[in-house]
Amino acid sequence: MYAILDIETTGGQFNEEGITEIAIYKFDGHEVVDQFISLVNPEIPIQPFVVKLTGINNAMLRSAPKFFEVAKRIIEITSDCIIVAHNASFDYRILRTEFRRLGYDFEAKTLCTVELAKKLIPEQPSYSLGKLVRALGIPMADRHRASGDAMATTKLFKMLLEKDLEKTIVKDFIKLEVEKGIAPKLLDILSQLPTKTGVYYIHNEGGTLVYIGKSQNIKKRVNQHFTGITTKSKKIQAEVFTITYDETGSELIALLKESEEIKINRPRYNRSQRKTIFQYALYAEKDANGYMNLKLEKADGRKKEITSYATLQEGKNALFRLTSKYHLCQKLTGLYQTKKECFQYKIKECDGACIGEITPEIYNLRVQQLITENSFENKSMILIDKGRNVNERSAVLIENGLYKGYAFYDLNYQITNIEILKNILIPMQNNRDVKNIIQSYIRKSKTIKILHF
């Protein structure tokens, strides 16, 4: 658990400030599960510039509780949590100072979203909370009030967790869980998991990732690991200490995250998926008569492919559909082996490229249309899909034929061009696997919307 907080103070001499307002959101990595927001009577005057900045004045605080009256609730909501704040050293120092005045030694592990943002979102012009969240498309209300700033920090932290592909934040969190002692039982772990689409991460007691998977129903898939009798399932059952997960809403983003994070983290039980997952590819080459032939073959990284497939049968099924859609010849697409005309010519479904009745120029235009529409070559587009909730959408960016990454955005945040999307993008590696995952998803999905640029 994380306690994400923001504190407003009176201003003044170092270590002599008093708290005027505090907001704490208890966050489980996915949603806020508890909150505490209160004005606080600091028993000292507020500096005039702070009144101007926050809008909190001395009159507003006369009837507010004093710190000792809210101290117990603060301890309750932050217990067993990592404290998260924007410029955490300031908020943590203020909190410790107030508790020290009560004779209590308040201690907790802390995470600073300024430091995390500098690491995970480099080259931003400013890391002030207001400017940073504006650049990232995070909605913000009540700037310089504790509740508004703490909620913006919560949304920022959620985005930073998403961008932390090496899972260093989560690993630190698991170490804290390990320090607490008892390993949860499999049923306890299962009860914490959602029945939603996303990526799940199986960690051992040292916090090391041993397996990464994706599913449209995380709980159901993990239950299959826990009840499975294969060697891999039994090893997972023996090693699992905890499972973390990222909801994606979009199956496409779950597939892309799984592929990328397996390559980065190399979990020991994902060996088969570290290799390429699309073993067959479609290639085009001219024959002696000048006709473009399509060939479905074992993938060869040295050759330029149009698209690729997980299995030979999937490739053949797709090639039959493409041959029909683009009015191509089954002989020239390798689906009908013959030295004469193809069978489709006999039933008047082929216009005779196989026996030279139409020119290579006319036939090759149709092949070129297939290549253009089924490859990413030099294309720039945004693929818009479901988000993690009804108020959100997901976007995947392809620029000049290269996969750049994905983002989640609020429905009020209008994605009208690539530059706007780049501000909130979670950058990812472009490689053969992700290109093929995207092409395969576009072929199968009925819900995805494509914006071309």
**pLDDT tens, 25-59?**
999 888 899 999 999 998 888 888 888 888 888 88
The span from the CA of 235 to the CA of 367, in Å, is: 49
At 275 the pLDDT is: 52
Q: Which of 212, 205, 213, 270 is nearest to 240 (CA)?
A: 205
Task: Give φ, ψ of 218 to 5 degrees.
Answer: -60, -50
Q: What are phi and psi of 74, to 5 degrees?
A: -65, -45
CA 368, 371, 373, 378 torsion: positive or negative? Answer: negative
Instruction: Quickly state the pLDDT bin for 175 (edges 50, 70, 90).
Output: low
Q: Which of 95-104, 214-223, 268-277 has the lowest mean pLDDT?
A: 268-277
The predicted-structure confidence for 339-375, as pLDDT tens digits, reads as follows 888 888 888 888 888 888 889 999 999 999 888 887 7
Q: What is the pLDDT of residues 111-147, one digit of tens each?
A: 899 999 988 888 888 899 888 888 887 777 777 788 8
Torsion of CA 449, 451, 452, 453, to 10 degrees: -160
Q: Compute the distance between CA of residue 266 and CA of residue 212 in angstroms, rounded to an integer.
A: 9
Angle between helices 67-78 and 88-101 (to 10 degrees): 120
Has this prediction a pTM greater than 0.85? no
Task: Say which residues have a Cβ less than 8 Å from residue 257's Cβ, sequence separation at least 6.
Answer: 199, 214, 246, 248
| DSSP state string for 317-362 | HHHHHHHHHTT--TTTTTSS--SS--HHHHTTSS-SGGGTSS-HHH
| Assigned token pair, 152 | 């913006």
Which residues fall within 8 angstroms of residue 193, CB to CB, at 6 or more apart?
A: 200, 218, 219, 222, 243, 245
Q: What's the angle, vertex CA 136, arms to CA 428 and CA 387, rounded to 5?
A: 65
**Residue 300 backbone phi and psi in degrees, to 5:** -130, 110
| CA-closest candidate to residue 40, choices 1, 10, 5 | 10
184: pLDDT strictly greater than 70: no
Is pLDDT above 60 for 183?
no
Q: Give me the pLDDT at residue 132, please.
A: 87
DSSP-derived 3-state class of residue 63: coil
User: CA triplet 384, 222, 187: central angle to 5 degrees?
Assistant: 135
The answer on pLDDT for 419 being more than 90 is no
